[in-house]
Amino acid sequence: MRKLVLTVTVALLTSGVSVFAANNINTNNVDEIVVVVTNDDFKEISVKELPAAVSSAIVKDFGTATAIKAYVNGSEQYKFELTLNGEEKVVYADKEGNWLEEADVVTAEQ
C-alpha cells in the first residue's frame, strides 16, 4: 500500500510539472503583428544623375554627411543612404529637393 501511495504521489507531482511547463510555453506565444514598410521600387543611381535641386538640398542640410548610395523610384522620389557623424541614415526627397518622410514616399503598389 505504501508503494502505491508513493507511486501515485510521484505521478501526480510529475504530471503537475508537465502541465505547468506546457502552460508556460503557451503563454509565451503572444499574438503580435509587425508591420514592415519597404520601398523596393527604388533603383540605384549615381550621384551625377541627381537633379540640381536635390543635390543642393543634400549639401545644404547634410553638408558633413558622406553619401553611400542614391536611389530613385518611378515617381521621381529619391532615397539616400548617408553616413552622418558615424551613424548611417536613410533620407528621402522629391525632385524639387523637399525632404519626405518614409510614409510619404509613393510606392508602386499605391
Cα separation, 53 vs 46, whole angstroms: 15
- Domain identity same for 53 and 98: yes
Give the CATH number, domain containing residue 65: 3.10.450.360
- Domain identity same for 56 and 93: yes
More confident: 18 or 105: 105
Residue-level pLDDT at 110? 46
- Domain identity same for 70 and 26: no
Number of folded domains that form the chain: 2
- Domain identity same for 63 and 100: yes
pLDDT tens for each residue of 54-98? 989 988 998 888 888 999 998 899 999 999 888 999 999 999 999
Residue-level pLDDT at 100? 93
Cell of 76: 521621381
Whether 98 is in a domain gets the answer: yes
Residue-level pLDDT at 29? 57
Q: Are 104 and 93 in contact, with CB atoms under 8 Å apart?
A: no
Cα separation, 97 vs 67, whole angstroms: 16
Domain hosting residue 9, numbered range: 1-32
- Domain identity same for 50 and 99: yes
| E-assigned strand segments in the chain | 43-45, 66-72, 78-84, 87-93, 99-100
Q: Which residue's entry shows cell 505504501?
A: 2
Q: Are 75 and 46 in contact, with CB atoms under 8 Å apart?
A: no
pLDDT tens for each residue of 12-64? 555 555 445 555 555 555 666 665 555 458 999 998 888 999 989 988 998 88
